Structure 1
Amino acid sequence: MPMDRERQVLSAVELALEQPPATRPLWLAEQIGHDRVALAEATSIIGYQTRTAVLHTTRTMRGFAAGDMLDRFRIVRLLGSGGMGDVYEAEDTAHSEGRRRVALKTIRADFGSDQNIADQFKQEIGLGQAITHPNVCRIYDLGLYSPREASGQSEGPILFLTMELLRGRTLAQRLHEDGPMTPADALAIIRQVADALTAAHERNVVHRDLKPGNIMLVPSAKSDTPRAVVMDFGLAIEISAADGAANLKSRSGTPDYMSPEQVVCEPVGCASDIYSLGIVTYEMITGRFPFEGKTSNYRMVERLHTPPIPPSACCPELVPDWSPQILRALELDVNKRYETAESFAKALSQEGVANDIANKVVNNPGLLALPEPPVAAPTRTRARRWTAAAVLLSGLACASWFGRKQISNWLHPLPQERRIVVLPFENIRNDEAERPFTDGLMQTLVSQLTELEPLQGSLSIVPANEVRKLKVTTAQEASMTFGATLAITGSVERSPRGIHMIINLVDARHVKQLRSQDFFVNPDDPAEMQEMVVRRVADIVQLELQPRTVERLARSAPASPAAYDFYLRGTGYLTQRSGEDSAIAEFKLALGADPNYVLAHAGLCEAYWQKYVDTKEQSWITPARQECDQAIHLNPGLARPHVSMAILNTGTGKYEEAVRQSKAALQIDPGSDQAHIELAKALDALGQKQEAEVTLKRAISLRPGNGLNYATLARFYYKHARYKDAEDPYKRLIELMPDNPAGYTNLGGLYLEEGNNTEAEKVLKRSMYIQPTYQAESNLGFVYFLEGKYAESVPMFAQAAQTNPKDYMVWGNLADAYRWTPGKAAEALAAYRKAIELTQESLNVNPKDAKALSDQALYRAKSGDLPGGLQASAKALAFAPGNPNFLFNAAVISEIAKQRGAALQYLGQAIKAGYSLREVETDPELAGLRRDKRYSGELK
């Protein structure tokens, strides 16, 4: 298949996988059904992805406990689980040399009946046994076990194989836990993996799935270098000795490590494994993949048409000769790659490179910080070198007197700009019942660190909700998405000694762990627990806890340990989609344990308000207000309840009270982003635009590293048709968060208003490339609508409405697209009615919501209710007389009502207020008005 068609197919597949499984075939047919070859290929890929997902998400039907027997093998313990089955440590009780310990890999009963998977299992045995090499995992036996229940009914046969028991960790675990490797350490592993591949290739076996997860690092008693062992020959294939290749009918492998020929289902050979080894080498050195893209499928596509990023660009300190050697292994043309894995390893091991590695290890200024000795006679130079080493050891001995923390700070200095992302904490026991507690601990920590920002200069903390929304889980993703320089990772485990926590600080740009704290906290003392967690984190990021911070933490702690546990769980549930009901239950339990726990009242207020936001049921507003009132009454010196009350008052149209509560919060916490935002919203609603703008700029000056403040200022400008002013904050947001789709989506909407459709389409497609969102889909649909491509805009708006069915603007856009698409009048009317219904839900809570009124007026007029449209439009303009968007809507409504004079008047006022002339020129509702002489003479 040609590369351009392959790219088109894989892009369609990426979007198709976002659809519900039942609708994927129809969706693909609509998108690429005109090309039968492309459709067949896409359907094949979807099947592969679906099978892979099943293998990685389905658990085994039956597990085995210590002491259970499978044939002659006695289970010792479970080592790990996968989609196809489990891996156990077991004893071979009948081995000739005594009870040999082995790894026993099972295959599920339901998969065992699948002939293709059973054949794959047998293939792993056959090809694995054909290779005898110390760097290849040895395969022993294949067995079939038929368990019997007490009833005598069989559960179905269980296939299993036994193999060499390897103790250590995979290369993937090593890279995840410790970050990139030095060239010297990497080379020691690469040589061994190359030897393993050479042994396989000499027997005409291609692995086809080489990746860090299939390379085990086994500690060696004789050397500091671990033994590298290549595992899992389940996808291996035997190639023809004549041409060194094998033809494949389907795509197999792991997308991020596939060779280009595997991606397009062309013949594979030894060069395919060499390509995969090149990617593994690249990742070992740089900590990232050689191709850009948010998902593995996009990165898989990129290798077909885009050269890899040179590793030296990601790792400037890399040995100079390594970059071209690695890039040669990643050549698109198989004939340009190394002929053998051994030759690749030798190229990296050549004398000049090896010497360069040795020199870098000895003379690394970041590690030793020693001056170079002057040029002198050989004996003199050698003496100076030994003296320098002695001085260094003496210095380290003195440093140990000062303490381990100072040594760590000296060896691993932090970046000057500390833009920190706290990543989701790991639940060590993988107990889903403990997940809310772990998430709540992480959320609480972020909130507490955020309150330290104004006191710490170059510090900025990425909001936890942004981390969750964009599903950022690794330090590398944090760097790409938020521009983070540091990432905090952690793990939590309950134990008899208390709550065991490990907190790690990672250099996000180089994916390198800098510092770590391993400690226990006492859950029976909430005040001590709160302070210790914050203090430990503050210590590793070099923050100074002010006395007032410690005092505030103590005052916010509950009297009951149970109350704090329930509160953390409630906070964790509140971070989950549709978790409000569980959060409400946990917060109530916290208040049952301590009725005066202020944070639990505040959390309950927020949970009630979120229930309203999700359901639009007004019954949630009163209890939300009551909980906020109670929190403020109990502790008026805490900022959070004041901010929550401001949000509630803004949302219900009580703007003066929202101003008062926001200012109260800022008196307590002058750096609160949310308090600034709520104050600006309320001031704007009261017509105090200049004060609102000053408030938002003040928030930016206090925390220039927080992208949320730039986005809010840009939206303020956009609302008031100050499009040019909005460009700079959106561009600044993109600079701060280059892989965050929100900046591109909003900038695309801005370009739309300015009439720059070309730039709009470009940045919106960039946003969709990073991560499809309903906002980007809707804006991209609007590009097509403004260009008069109404039928093409329908699928984009429809997808946006499916993704977020509660956004009335998306339904209004969809209705407009149907309205101007022939034969879709009934669909247009249904969509307008849905949009009207949703706007009314907002107006039931806040009758002064001028935007909802103006938009509802437009939907009513377009759906045939002209009296209702005119009345609602007049009310909106009474609340906000000079708003350009409301004036334009009034002009359109008047034109639909055949009131040309009023339409021209409103349109003139909208344009003078800054409304986009481009949109005036392209709106199909105004086609007749634009032909009017008064329009040409007076407005244009």
Structure 2
Amino acid sequence: VSLVDQVLHHDPIPLTKIREDIPEGLASVVQRMMAKDPEARYASAREVLKDLVAAEQGENLSTGAQRSTVQKESFWKSRTGAVVFALAGLILFTLWSRIATQSEWFGTPALPPAKYAAIFPLSAEDNKSSALALGMTEILTNNLMPFTADSTFQMTSLASVLGSSASTPKELRELLGVNLVLRGEVAEDHRELRTALELVDGRTLKVLERREVVTPITDLGIHVDGLSSAAAELLQLPEKGWKFQTLGSTELRLCLEGMGSMRTMNSHEADIEKATTLFKRALQVDPDMELATAHLGWAYFKQFLASKESAYADSARATCEAVLLANPDQPLAHRTLAQVHAKLGDLEAAAASFEEVLRTNPTDEFATLQYARLFGRAHDYDRERAVYEEAIQDRPHAWKPRFWVANFDFVHGNVEAAKLGFKAMRDRAPDFYRSYDTLGAIQVMEGSYEEAVENLNAALALHPTESALSNLGTAHFNQRAFEEAIASYRSALQFGFDNHAVWLNLADAYYYGQEDSTQAKEAYAQGVAKGEAFLAQKPYAIAVKAQLAPALIKLGEPKRAREYMDEALSKRSSDPMIQFLAALTLWQLFEPETALDFLEESIEGGYPLVWIQDSAVFDDWRDNRRFQALTQRPDGEASSDDNSGPRSGG
């Protein structure tokens, strides 16, 4: 009651008397909202917002003289209305305090020292604006990407964001490991274009700050530039001059809608045709519009990929060359030309075009990766790796070049260098699951099970994947921690990774770990059923037939097991995995010498010896002298006959 009495009969204490750090402008807005005289109050929330923005920017507040008139006997003149309005003012003040977390009033929020950001595709209030919003997202991403040359900033590409299929900032953080997410919504009417931006903390998912860009609908170029400035401010990046305000709104809108149509997920030929039409319409308005011409060349290239018609490749090349005659530094034109040349097999011309892309935009990760892979296609692996190393030198803080070189080293058998690369990647993207996942897989392969379990659990805490769960199960199986192995494989099934490989691994854990023939048989049956369903869709998947063969023997079907294995060997007899599975199959068919022949070939081909040395699967092989010779450990290592040590298998 006393609170209501205070509201009705006493002037509120000015906020500056309560907190000295509250600016006078903000205090004046709140004081006016709680005025006893309804005529002195704001007439609408829009007027409140206008004065709040003016107060934040240090501008003069409105006097209230132009406020709309209110009926004498309106609700707001009543005492009840006064109470509600005053309480609403307090609530709005509280909300505004939470929204304006990065204003000069409340201090700049502390962003992570190493910022790794993603721009979530801008949404649209109306479907008619969706292509425009996506085109604006592409421009915004392209404008901010050069800041990744800074040692404190990384950003993922729009293609990676769209390819992740993430629908929320939480999913984006889980899938890409970002610690900051920019998202926003575009709304327009016949007068105004409004884009609300907000910066979200990737770890806590709390909104750190908001910005809104509002321009007349006829000032699209100014709006796009303002959006880039607002995003840079949110990310605490330096201000930079943008270029789109010089473009006419009509042609710019057509171009942005075309870009958005090209970027829609699962875009089909109809989407590319629509984009092509939009770019051509933009050029009808302004024939010299470089942005539209460059994107038209890209659209022709996409049509070439979809149709395989060489005429589209010719159109893409001619269009991009025309752009480059006017502006030799246009990166998209160079990039499209490079892709056309690469697709047509002219690797030398493609390399020259990619070099031009990187000259004009050295932070273009797509161009860097494709440029390096050209040398791989030409079997110049030293030059391919050198490109990755150059990218590391240019941006030592970035994780992607580390990922590229680590992958390269692993594929080319330099496992120790690969591990160092993945660890360097992990240090630069500590919230990205893939480095932990891959490191764990390598450590399982090497028999470093405790380290593997640590990394795989870290990967699963960030983002559960089938590979991490399966490798974790194998790491436990290798150590004969069969209950943990079973739990890992069952977790994989619960996460939806319901396929033949997981079921067969689970069956092995039951069979060799618990000697539970009933559960093992059920799991083997599920694995075979899943595998054969897969083969019905993809009969050329020879490796699956080889995987099913040992399970079929345990299910009492030796004839079908031999048929599957014979077919696999007829197609891929030199594959170490096929040879390994052939050894398991033939041992169960009581052909030990032939089984050992295949096992020897598998080891020579690179199948992990540590798995064979320690696996429970090979317990009944261990008395065989030839097996002992094949799997003999170097001096100082535990004997494979010592079943107390860690095991490998599954």
TM-score (norm 2): 0.61
What is the CA–CA distance in structure 2 between the aligned matches of 1:928 and 1:646, rounded to whole Å? Answer: 57
Cα gap change, 1:449 to 1:163, in 2 (>3 Å): closer
Cα gap change, 1:504 to 1:448, in 2 (>3 Å): same
Cα gap change, 1:467 to 1:460, in 2 (>3 Å): same
2:129 paired residue among 395, 419, 434:
434
What is the CA–CA distance in structure 1 between the aligned matches of 2:310 and 2:336, rounded to whole Å? Answer: 9
Map 1:240-389; keep pairs closer than 5 Å: none
Q: Indicate conservation of the 8 Å contact 1:643/1:662, yes or no.
A: no
Cα gap change, 1:176 to 1:831, in 2 (>3 Å): farther
Following TM superposition, by how much is the alpha carbon of 1:869 offset from its aligned partner in structure 2, in angstroms? 1.0
What is the CA–CA distance in structure 1 between the aligned matches of 2:486 and 2:203, rounded to whole Å? Answer: 44
Where does residue 563 of structure 1 map in the other structure?
Answer: 254
Cα gap change, 1:627 to 1:569, in 2 (>3 Å): same
2:318 paired residue among 612, 633, 639:
633
Where does residue 868 of structure 1 map in the other structure?
Answer: 567
Matched, 1:692 2:384: yes
Matched, 1:587 2:278: no
- Which protein has the bigger strand share? 1
What is the CA–CA distance in structure 2 between the aligned matches of 1:626 and 1:418, rounded to whole Å? Answer: 46
Following TM superposition, by how much is the alpha carbon of 1:927 offset from its aligned partner in structure 2, in angstroms? 5.8
The letter of the residue matching 1:758 is E
What is the CA–CA distance in structure 2 between the aligned matches of 1:78 and 1:533, rounded to whole Å? Answer: 24
The letter of the residue matching 2:447 is G
Map 1:88-487; keep pairs closer than 5 Å: 98=78, 101=81, 165-166=88-89, 169=92, 171=94, 174-179=97-102, 419=115, 421-424=117-120, 430-431=125-126, 433-451=128-146, 453=148, 460-464=154-158, 469=164, 473=169, 481-482=177-178
Cα gap change, 1:892 to 1:773, in 2 (>3 Å): closer
Q: What RMSD in Å do the two structures reach over aligned CA positions?
A: 5.4
What is the CA–CA distance in structure 2 between the aligned matches of 1:687 and 1:555, rounded to whole Å? Answer: 46
What is the CA–CA distance in structure 1 between the aligned matches of 2:76 and 2:98, rounded to whole Å? Answer: 39
Residue-by-residue CA offset, 1:485-512 (whole Å, 9 max, x unaligned): xx76666443555644567889999999
Where does residue 715 of structure 1 map in the other structure?
Answer: 407
Where does residue 523 of structure 2 map in the other structure?
Answer: 824
Q: Give the gaps of 5 or more residues in structure 2.
A: 1-42, 47-69, 284-291, 325-329, 512-519, 553-560, 633-650
Residue-by-residue CA offset, 1:172-216 (whole Å, 9 max, x unaligned): 65334324999xx7xxxxxxxxxxxxxxxxxxxxxxxxxxxxxxx
Map 1:788-867; keep pairs closer than 5 Å: 789=482, 791-799=486-494, 802=496, 811-818=500-507, 821-836=520-535, 855=543, 858-859=546-547, 864=561, 865-867=564-566
Following TM superposition, by how much is the alpha carbon of 1:78 offset from its aligned partner in structure 2, in angstroms? 11
Where does residue 730 of structure 1 map in the other structure?
Answer: 422
The letter of the residue matching 1:564 is C
2:576 paired residue among 877, 883, 887:
887
Secondary structure at the aligned position of 2:464 is classed as coil
Matched, 1:541 2:230: no
Cα gap change, 1:495 to 1:172, in 2 (>3 Å): same
Secondary structure at the aligned position of 1:824 is classed as helix
Matched residues, percent identical?
Answer: 13
Following TM superposition, by how much is the alpha carbon of 1:903 offset from its aligned partner in structure 2, in angstroms? 1.7
Q: Indicate conservation of the 8 Å contact 1:754/1:916, yes or no.
A: yes
Q: Give the gaps of 5 or more residues in structure 1.
A: 1-75, 80-89, 103-137, 140-161, 186-284, 288-314, 316-413, 610-619, 844-851, 878-885
Residue-by-residue CA offset, 1:356-402 (whole Å, 9 max, x unaligned): xxxxxxxxxxxxxxxxxxxxxxxxxxxxxxxxxxxxxxxxxxxxxxx
Paired positions, count: 512
Cα gap change, 1:936 to 1:828, in 2 (>3 Å): same
Matched, 1:673 2:340: no
Cα gap change, 1:507 to 1:785, in 2 (>3 Å): closer
Cα gap change, 1:600 to 1:656, in 2 (>3 Å): closer
Following TM superposition, by how much is the alpha carbon of 1:635 offset from its aligned partner in structure 2, in angstroms? 0.6
1:739 paired residue among 409, 422, 431:
431
Secondary structure at the aligned position of 1:421 is classed as strand
Secondary structure at the aligned position of 1:749 is classed as helix
Q: Indicate conservation of the 8 Å contact 2:280/2:296, yes or no.
A: no
Q: Indicate conservation of the 8 Å contact 1:587/1:601, yes or no.
A: no
The letter of the residue matching 2:188 is R
Cα gap change, 1:572 to 1:930, in 2 (>3 Å): same
Cα gap change, 1:496 to 1:648, in 2 (>3 Å): same
Following TM superposition, by how much is the alpha carbon of 1:566 offset from its aligned partner in structure 2, in angstroms? 2.1
Q: Indicate conservation of the 8 Å contact 1:437/1:572, yes or no.
A: no
Q: Indicate conservation of the 8 Å contact 2:193/2:216, yes or no.
A: yes
Following TM superposition, by how much is the alpha carbon of 1:600 offset from its aligned partner in structure 2, in angstroms? 5.0
The letter of the residue matching 2:255 is Y
Q: Indicate conservation of the 8 Å contact 1:745/1:764, yes or no.
A: yes
Cα gap change, 1:682 to 1:181, in 2 (>3 Å): same
What is the CA–CA distance in structure 2 between the aligned matches of 1:584 and 1:861, rounded to whole Å? Answer: 46
What is the CA–CA distance in structure 2 between the aligned matches of 1:659 and 1:925, rounded to whole Å? Answer: 51
Secondary structure at the aligned position of 1:635 is classed as helix
Secondary structure at the aligned position of 1:169 is classed as helix
Residue-by-residue CA offset, 1:43-64 (whole Å, 9 max, x unaligned): xxxxxxxxxxxxxxxxxxxxxx
TM-score (norm 1): 0.44
Following TM superposition, by how much is the alpha carbon of 1:445 offset from its aligned partner in structure 2, in angstroms? 1.9
Q: Indicate conservation of the 8 Å contact 2:200/2:207, yes or no.
A: yes
The letter of the residue matching 1:622 is S
The letter of the residue matching 2:238 is Q
Q: Indicate conservation of the 8 Å contact 1:567/1:590, yes or no.
A: yes
Q: Indicate conservation of the 8 Å contact 1:733/1:743, yes or no.
A: yes
Following TM superposition, by how much is the alpha carbon of 1:755 offset from its aligned partner in structure 2, in angstroms? 1.8
Cα gap change, 1:657 to 1:453, in 2 (>3 Å): farther
The letter of the residue matching 1:896 is T
